[in-house]
């Protein structure tokens, strides 16, 4: 049991106060010793039912438990926070019931908070939580999409006519005519189960409301400090200039830590009520019932083609179960919207019909997760084109060569409304074919099939929306910044301090920023220190999401570096009486750009600029601290692209799938740090493989989670992963100086499409097809059994 003078994080770890002080140092005013010694630990009492009436709640016994400072329920918590309404204003017909922090009259998903226990230690809070007495009356449950829209289905939220959150349709060209005139039409129904983000470090925060000055400091494992600053200020009624959110380096985000979680907001409210620091860290068991989840879609799709191999039309009809409420700020209709607008984007065809519906069910909220709906679009497009190619007797690579959008058509707008400018489908495919030795693998596949060994090859082509601009979130009404900024300061020693609005969850973004600054200023990267993640000291920015770190924050760093370089050369010119246009920077020196010889060191420029201004012309303005921000004002997003390939073997006796090889070719624009980019691709690829083959939140028919432990929820293990070979085609983004587009989600998107196609390619000779993700051994064997009955 931890003492009041210690802090726990994760599962069982303890951080002494002096160590926590050290970790938080450098962020300005940190939580001091006196306040840390009074820190409380939070534990939440949650609904065990997916839908139930809260008849009564008694916290008296829990309040008297050892070490307990207090127990708060909806009566104390809810009035302190404005209700969240997770509705995107620019999505006509989008609706959601208001969401309060705690269940008051009813709980509408298993895991919804009903009370918070605050104690001197996490252990004492957990013990006391068992003493909270709640009488629940179970109510009828809406467990899945089809139950939600069935006639006479229970309506989850009073005041809403039904369980429909959003219904969007799109039609371009003449899809009915195109399908009618097609020589071949392939139809399929796909199912995607729910999954978790499974970050290495679970969610957590320390909230410190100081009643003496009304200030709030939150140390938050979050991807967007400024987003949370806005929420804490506007929803809790605290002046924004008194709210500070610090997001130190955290162990993975994957979009999970962009979402607004009610237990995190309630932790801050508890700190406001008690006037003491409050710490809350989710353990693994809690995360399964409290973390926002992903996927949960049923999709009908089809493709029409001519005998010559020309695609004439595509259609997709998606229905997603988004949980009990709309996700605040980040809008859980995004998965379905991305799926329907991105499907078929790499291919040249004109007729398209799409529909997506989001419905409310008695489950936890769907939120942001790596790739959002783009992996679904990749799977739909790649599975359909592979099936069509086989039906037409055309090799799948040749089919893609014929149907990809050629460079001569760019820029263009796809039937789904996606603007393509600097994509490179053919270049990526040809690089991939050579990288994997495609023809050799096909020969090997044919030979092994004759021996009863079933291997499959899958190609997954994708587009990736990255680095969203103001047109994307601006009209939605969400206060989400799409800009990022950078502040640079030349030190008297000639080194440089960099302060960025970006955050880092392990991507290495801050390293890329340091490289950009160092290269522009001609100094070693070790002479650049980079700090960020703090809403009180950095320029305003969006943080880490949608593969935007280098594309947006790196561009801001490049622009700030260019300004600082000009100022340094101007000052060096005044000192040395050399025209500024004859000077440049290299190796920590101001050099003559014609001779390459050093004129003056950067350190001497800094020393004179700060300490000997008396030697400069009287009217000279020394500016060795600069700031620049960047936002792509005229673009809703950049568009990256790529293609992946999977080589798998299916054991038809056991249903087990063995991964033999994975290849990825991406076009993320300019590659700043090849090592970091390659590992982003590999990490995303592993996640994509995990989604297709392993990961699933298994629910009962009445919406109870059945596998809420790491013993039962499968994730990919290192020994199960193949070698992942990565290569790149670089087509710079033309609207920026840096030319980067983004890479963070590409690995997952392409891998999911490639593995889906590869497994089905392996099963093809047996007449089987699997369309229910994840592809567990049981589902593989079921698919084989169904094929034998046909």
Mean pLDDT of the 402-406 span: 98
Confidence at residue 633, expressed as pLDDT on a 0 to 100 scale: 83
pLDDT of residue 250: 85
Q: Sorting pLDDT into bands at 50, 70 and 90, what band is 35? A: confident
* Same domain for 122 and 261: yes
**4: confidence class by pLDDT, cuts 50, 70, 90:** very low
567 shares its domain with 497: yes
Q: What is the CATH number of the domain that holds 765?
A: 3.30.365.10
CA atoms within 13 A on the CB side of 199: 27
Q: Does residue 589 sit in the same domain as residue 675?
A: no
CA angle 784, 760, 459 (to 5 degrees): 170
pLDDT tens by residue, 522-538:
999 999 999 988 999 99
Q: Are 640 and 564 in a shared domain? A: no
What's the Cα-to-Cα distance from 330 to each of 258, 292, 505, 542, rounded to whole Å? Answer: 8, 11, 19, 13
**Count of structural domains, the chain:** 3
Range of the domain at 212: 34-139+198-290
Evaluate whether residue 691 is within a structural domain: yes
Q: Are residues 669 and 761 in the same domain?
A: yes
Q: Which of 290, 320, 352 is the last residue of a domain?
A: 290
- The conformation of residue 636, written as its DSSP 8-state character, comes to S
Question: Are residues 734 and 624 both part of a single domain?
Answer: no
Predicted confidence at residue 31, as pLDDT, reads: 60
Tell me if 667 is assigned to some domain: yes
Query: Among residues 581, 598, 630, which one ends one of the domains?
Result: 630
CATH of the domain at 233: 3.90.1170.50
pLDDT of res. 30: 52
The pTM score is 0.95
310 falls within a domain: no
In this model, does residue 1 exceed pLDDT 70?
no
Is residue 255 within 8 Å of 367, Cβ to Cβ? yes
- Same-domain status, 540 and 681: no
Q: Which helix (H) or strand (E) holds 650?
A: strand 638-650
Residue 672 domain flag: yes
Both tokens of residue 589? 């020196």
Res 208: pLDDT: 97
Same domain membership, residue 424 and residue 546? no
Same structural domain, 408 and 439: yes
Same domain, residue pair 119 and 268: yes
The predicted pLDDT at position 37 comes to 77
pLDDT, tens digit (0-9, with 9 covering 90-100), for 639-684: 999 999 999 999 999 999 999 999 999 999 999 999 999 999 999 9
Residues 112-164: pLDDT tens digits? 999 999 999 999 999 999 999 999 999 999 999 999 999 999 999 999 999 99
What is the spatial distance between Cα 784 and Cα 790, in angstroms, rounded to a whole number? 10
673 and 774 co-located in one domain: yes
Within a domain: residue 53? yes
* Residue 557 to residue 300: CA distance in whole angstroms: 45
Residue 188 resides in a domain: no
Q: What is the pLDDT of residue 249?
A: 85
Calculate mean pLDDT across residues 601-612. 98
Burial classification of residue 388, based on how many CB atoms lie within 10 Å of its CB (0-12 exposed, 13-18 middle, 19 or more buried)? buried
Kindly tell me if the per-residue pLDDT of 26 is higher than 70.
no
What pLDDT, on the 0 to 100 scale, is given for residue 484?
Answer: 97
Q: Are residues 686 and 566 in the same domain?
A: no
| Burial label, 450 (beta-carbon count in 10 A; 0-12, 13-18, 19+) | exposed
Q: How many CB atoms lie within 10 A of CB 201?
A: 18
Instruction: Quickly list DSSP for 727-746.
Output: EE-----TTSSS-B---TTH
Flag whether 327 is in a domain. Answer: no
Domain's final residue, options 245, 273, 290: 290
- Residue 189: inside a domain: no
Contact 45, 110 (CB under 8 A): no
């Amino acid at each position: 049991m931890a003492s009041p003078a210690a802090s726990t994080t994760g599962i069982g770890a303890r951080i002494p106060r002096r160590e926590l002080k050290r970790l938080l140092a450098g962020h300005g005013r940190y939580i001091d010793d006196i306040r840390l010694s009074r820190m409380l630990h939070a534990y939440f009492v949650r609904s065990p039912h997916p839908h139930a009436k809260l008849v009564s709640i008694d916290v008296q016994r829990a309040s008297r438990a050892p070490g307990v400072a207090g127990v708060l329920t909806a009566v104390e918590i809810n009035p302190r926070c404005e209700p969240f309404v997770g509705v995107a204003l620019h999505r006509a017909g989008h609706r959601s019931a208001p969401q309060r922090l705690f269940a008051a009259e009813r709980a509408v998903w298993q895991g919804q908070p009903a009370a918070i226990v605050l104690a001197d230690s996490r252990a004492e809070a957990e013990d006391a939580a068992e003493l909270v007495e709640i009488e629940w009356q179970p109510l009828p449950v809406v467990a899945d999409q089809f139950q939600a829209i069935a006639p006479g289905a229970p309506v989850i939220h009073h005041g809403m006519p039904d369980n429909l959150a959003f219904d969007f349709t799109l039609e371009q060209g003449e899809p009915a005519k195109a399908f009618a005139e097609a020589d071949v039409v392939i139809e399929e129904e796909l199912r995607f189960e729910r999954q978790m983000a499974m970050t290495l470090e679970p969610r957590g925060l320390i909230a410190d409301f100081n009643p003496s000055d009304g200030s709030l400091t939150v140390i938050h494992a979050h991807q967007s400090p400024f987003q949370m600053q806005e929420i804490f200020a506007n929803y809790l009624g605290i002046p924004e200039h008194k709210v500070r959110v610090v997001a130190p380096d955290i162990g993975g985000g994957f979009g999970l830590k962009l979402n607004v979680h009610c237990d995190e907001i309630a932790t801050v409210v508890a700190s406001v009520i008690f006037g003491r620091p409050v710490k809350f860290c989710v353990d693994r068991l809690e995360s399964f019932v409290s973390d926002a989840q992903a996927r949960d879609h049923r999709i009908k799709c089809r493709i029409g083609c001519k005998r010559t191999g020309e695609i004439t039309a595509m259609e997709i009809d998606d229905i997603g179960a988004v949980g009990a409420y709309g996700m605040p700020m980040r809008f859980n209709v995004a998965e379905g919207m991305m799926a329907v607008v991105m499907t078929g984007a790499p291919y040249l065809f004109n007729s398209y019909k799409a529909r997506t519906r989001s419905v409310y069910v008695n489950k936890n909220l769907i939120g942001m997760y790596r790739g959002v709906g783009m992996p679904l679009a990749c799977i739909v497009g790649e599975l359909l084109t592979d099936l069509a190619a086989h039906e037409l007797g055309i090799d799948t690579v040749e089919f893609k060569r014929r149907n990809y959008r050629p460079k001569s058509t760019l820029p263009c707008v796809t039937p789904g409304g996606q603007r393509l400018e600097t994509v490179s489908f053919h270049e990526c495919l040809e690089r991939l074919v050579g990288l994997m030795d495609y023809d050799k693998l096909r020969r090997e596949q044919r030979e092994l099939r004759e021996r009863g060994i079933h291997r499959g090859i899958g190609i997954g082509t994708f587009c990736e929306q990255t680095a969203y601009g103001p047109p994307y979130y601006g009209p939605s009404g969400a206060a989400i910044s799409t800009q990022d900024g950078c502040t640079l300061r030349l030190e008297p020693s000639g080194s440089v301090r960099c302060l960025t609005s970006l955050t880092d969850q392990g991507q290495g973004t801050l390293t890329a920023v340091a490289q950009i600054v160092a290269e522009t200023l001609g100094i070693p990267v070790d002479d650049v220190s980079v700090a960020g993640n703090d809403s009180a000291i950095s320029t305003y920015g969006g943080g880490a999401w949608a593969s935007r770190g280098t594309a947006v924050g790196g561009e801001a760093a490049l622009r700030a570096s260019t300004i600082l370089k000009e100022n340094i050369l101007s000052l060096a010119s005044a000192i040395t009486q050399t025209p500024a246009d004859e000077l440049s920077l290299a190796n920590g020196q101001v050099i003559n750009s014609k001779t390459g010889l050093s004129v003056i060191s950067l350190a001497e420029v800094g020393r004179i600029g700060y300490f000997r201004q008396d030697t400069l012309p009287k009217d000279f303005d020394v500016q060795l601290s600069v700031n620049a921000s960047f936002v792509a004002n005229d673009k809703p997003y950049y568009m990256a692209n790529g293609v992946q390939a999977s080589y798998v073997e299916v054991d038809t006796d056991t249903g087990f799938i063995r991964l033999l090889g994975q290849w990825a070719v991406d076009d993320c624009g300019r590659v700043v740090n090849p090592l970091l980019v390659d590992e982003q691709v590999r990490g995303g690829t592993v996640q994509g493989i995990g989604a297709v083959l392993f990961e699933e939140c298994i629910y009962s028919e009445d919406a109870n989670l059945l596998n809420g432990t790491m013993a039962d929820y499968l994730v990919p293990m290192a020994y199960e992963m193949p070698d992942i070979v990565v290569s790149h085609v670089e087509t710079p983004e033309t609207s920026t100086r840096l030319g980067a587009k983004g890479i963070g989600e590409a690995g997952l998107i392409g891998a999911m499409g490639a593995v889906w196609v590869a497994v089905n390619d392996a099963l093809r000779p047996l007449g089987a097809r699997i369309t229910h993700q994840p592809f567990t051994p049981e589902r593989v064997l079921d698919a084989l059994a169904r094929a034998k009955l046909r």
